[in-house]
Structure formats: C-alpha cells, structure tokens
Amino acid sequence: MGSQTPFEQRLKAGIMINEHMYELGAAPNKIRETFAYGLERKAIVGPENVYDLSIGNPSVPSPAIIDETIARMAQESKGTMHAYTPSPGLEDVRQTIAENLNRRFNQSYSAADLYLTSGASSSIAITFKGLVQPGEEVITNVPYFTEYKTWTENVGATLVEVLTRTDDFQMDIPALERAINPKTAAIIINSPNNPVGTVYTDQNIKDLADLLAAKSREYGHTIYLVSDEPYRELAYDGLTPAWVPDLYPATIVCYSWSKSFSLPGERIAYILVPPSMPDHDRVYKAICGGGRSLGYICAGTLFQRVVQACIDAPVNIEPYDVNRKILMEGLDRIGYTYIKPQGAFYMWIQALEPDANAFYERAKKYELLLVPSDGFGVKGWVRAGYCCSKETIEGALVAFEKLYREYR
Ligand code: PLP
C-alpha cells in the first residue's frame, strides 16, 4: 500500500473523488454548526430560551409585494413561466435593473452590463473565475467573509489578507499598498461590512481607487475592484455607501437581494460590469464564461421576474436599527467593548478572553449563540447578528450580562 500513489490507492478502493473538495465539504463551518446547535437547543429548552445570533438570516419579512407578485404570476402563468432564460438572464429584466440603477445612481447602464446570478456567492465565484488566473492574487480586507478564500482558491489563486485599521476598521491604504504586487489581479471589498458593520467612507474608497489606478499604470494591467455589496441598503443614521464605479472605473459590483428583500433562500442577485470598465465587452464575456464554466447560468426564472416587478419596493431596515440600538445600549451598560455598526446587521464584540472560541463556548452555557472571529481571519472577537427578533436581543442581553459576571 505504502508504495502506491494517492491516485492508485483511491483507484484500488474504488473511491474517486477530488480530495480538496472532500476537505472543503467535510470542514466544519462554525456559523452553520452553531445554527444547527441552536435548533437542537430550541427543541429541548424552548425557542424563547435560546438567543441565536449566529446566522445572517433576515428576520424582517420580505416586502408584501413579493408574495403578491408570486401569487399573481403563478395565476397568470398556468405553468408556462418556468422555462430556461438566456444564460445572463432575461434581457428585459436586466434592462429594468439597469434603469433602477440609473435612477438611483445617475448612470446610463443597460442590459448589456448585467449578468443575473443565484446569490452574491455565485456572483463572486463567477467574477473570480472570469477575471483571475491561476497563480495570481486577490486581496481582501480583514476581518472578511470566509468564503472569499474558497472562491479565490477555486481558481488557483491566493487570497492575501490585509488587516483593516484597528481604530475604525476602515481600509488601511498604506498596508494595502504594501500588499499589491504584479501578481495582484483584484481586491474585494465589502461595505456595509460583514462581520464588522463598517461602511467605508467615500474618502477611504477614493484613496483605494487612487492606489489601484497608480498600481495598474505601474504594472501595465488593470487591477479589478470587486465590490461585494449585499448590504448596500442596510446603512444607518442616514449614511449612504459610495457608488464604487463612480470612484474607480474597473469596478465589478456583486449585488444580491438576499438581505435587502429578505430572499436568501431564493438565490437571486446580479453582477454589474459598468461601461466604464476598460475593455468592457471582453470583461463582460469573461464573466459569462465564468458563469458557464461553473454552471451558474440562467438564474431562477420566477425570481428574475419577481425582482423585475418589485424592483422599487422599499427596504425596511427599521427593525434592525431598533435591535442595533438596544444591543448597543445594553452592551454599554454591562461594559463590553464593541464596534458601533454603521450598516449590515452584525456587531463585532471583543471577547472577554483572548481565545474567542473559549468565550463562544462559555456563552453557549447561557444559550447565547455567537460566532468566534477566527473564521473571519482574526482572533479575540465574536460576531453577533442582530437580524433576529427584538425579544431575542433582549434575552441575549440578559445572557451577555451573566457571561460578563463570570469574567469579573
Ligand atoms: N458576501 C457577504 C459579505 C455576505 O455576508 C454574504 C451572505 O451572508 C454573501 C456574500 C453571500 O450572499 P448570498 O446569500 O446572496 O449568496
């Protein structure tokens, strides 16, 4: 057996799988694991006694017009609306989305700039597939959404992690400058941010844009800016996240309705390649190729039509804002250190011991379910998702207080 190659061993055992994919599939995912644990605990101690702040499942109901539209379409269609669409999505749907963006951001986009996908996840995976080559690098700000690593490595590239500033969690431009090199294909940014809740200032993004423009000139190739923005509409206190293509022409926007319309299970999203993109048509075709090679073509037809019909529905962030304020007041009163969220629906709270996993385990004793920061690329913090009911936040604060007392 010892002299056999792994391939020969697998052949002999009759098991032919991609070992790397096996590892990915078998690896524990703390968010999903905690969510599953929460369901178990709810069955045992009652749902009202478990404070699950682990998963980013929006609790605000989808706009009423969504269900009304689905019902109307089902009536009208009589079973005929479930056909394939063109791979990038229906042209008139893409045109409607383009016009919505034109109204909101004063642009002149068209259907030819959009590729519909099933979630920001697939938008990013497609974008990397289309634009990044094996051996290249993608930069992310840290803390970061864990799956960026998976999607980068899926195209044979390396994810380069650059810490955000420690005082305000904005991008650290000098640190990014040190990380950029001739192998840098792209940088991915996420604002409003998961897990910290920061919204990058216009100036911070402008500084990044200047840096990328200078480095692109120096190396003679475009460095892409991938703007992952499923939380765009979830910004508080009147903040408006910058429209990134206005600041950097080679921006790809990966948007999703998962959070804004509370549709994470329906998997509907888009990639925007703005007309300002250098070599736009080739870049757009490469995105189409990325989608094709990954099998991400023709986003669900029903939900293409639903978002078209509901595109102007207002996004209700009020319940998240209420939870945010209750959580901040409670944590202030108890004595926790946290980063005031400006957007999204997560709070970044300092663990009361250096080992965030140990703190997370202790919190579980009080049925308080958090996510340790290690999975987001840093140590010593936890993420608390406040996209739950107000009652859950109130109960969570009682648990936070008991937990705090253990340490003091
Ligand atoms: N990017 C970020 C920062 C996220 O938080 C999420 C989901 O939580 C995604 C991407 C994936 O979004 P989607 O559900 O639309 O695939």
Q: What is the DSSP string of 313-376?
A: PPP--HHHHHHHHHHHHHHHHHT--EEPP-BTTEEEEE-SSS-HHHHHHHHHTTTEE-EEGGGG
Q: What percent of the chain has pLDDT over 70?
A: 100
pLDDT tens figures, 64-80: 999 999 999 999 988 88
Q: From residue 220, give the alpha-carbon distance in Å to each of 174, 209, 214, 216, 304.
A: 21, 16, 10, 6, 38
Look over the chain and give the mean of its residue pLDDT values, rounded to a whole number. Answer: 96
Residue 376 Cα to ligand 1 midpoint, Å, equals: 13
Residue 220 Cα to ligand 1 midpoint, Å, equals: 32
Identify the band that residue 408 occupies on the pLDDT scale cut at 50, 70 and 90: confident
Candidate of 200, 256, 294 to mutate for ligand 1, largest count of ligand atoms within 8 Å of Cβ: 256
Residue 187 to residue 180: CA distance in whole angstroms:
9
Q: Is the CB of 291 under 6 A from ligand 1?
A: no
Q: Is the CB of 264 under 6 A from ligand 1?
A: yes
Residue 256 Cα to ligand 1 midpoint, Å, equals: 8
Nearest to 159, CA basis, from 187, 191, 195: 187
Nearest to 353, CA basis, from 372, 375, 328: 372
Do the beta carbons of residue 298 and residue 268 sit within 8 Å? no
Torsion angle defined by CA atoms of residues 96, 102, 107 and 110, in that order, rounded to the nearest 10 degrees: 10
Nearest to 264, CA basis, from 385, 390, 156: 385
Nearest to 386, CA basis, from 318, 320, 326, 316: 320
Single-letter code of the amino acid located at 134: P
Q: List 353's β-bridge partners, or say none.
A: none
Residue 321 pLDDT? 98
> If residue 272 lies in a helix (H) or strand (E), which one and from where to where?
strand 269-272
DSSP 204: H
pLDDT tens figures, 349-392: 999 999 999 999 999 999 999 999 999 999 999 999 999 999 99
Nearest CA to ligand 1 atom 12: 120
Residue 263 Cα to ligand 1 midpoint, Å, equals: 11
Closest atom of ligand 1 to 257 CA is: 15
Measured in degrees and rounded to the nearest 5, phi and psi for residue 156 equal: 75, 15
Nearest to 359, CA basis, from 404, 309, 329: 404
Residue 2 pLDDT? 58
Residue 108 to residue 230: CA distance in whole angstroms:
22
Residue 389 pLDDT? 96
Q: Strand order in 381-385's β-sheet?
A: 338-339, 346-350, 381-385, 371-372
The Cβ of residue 192 has, within 10 Å, a number of other Cβ atoms equal to: 26
Cα 63 to chain centroid distance, Å, stands at 21
Residue 189 Cα to ligand 1 midpoint, Å, equals: 12
Residue 149 Cα to ligand 1 midpoint, Å, equals: 13
pLDDT tens figures, 291-336: 999 999 999 999 999 999 999 999 999 999 999 999 999 999 999 9
The yes-or-no verdict on residue 14 having pLDDT over 80 is no
pLDDT tens figures, 236-280: 999 999 999 999 999 999 999 999 999 999 999 999 999 999 999
The yes-or-no verdict on residue 98 having pLDDT over 70 is yes
pLDDT tens figures, 249-261: 999 999 999 999 9
Q: What's the pTM value of the predicted model, to 2 decimals? A: 0.95
Closest atom of ligand 1 to 264 CA is: 14
Tokens 């009208």 locate to 76
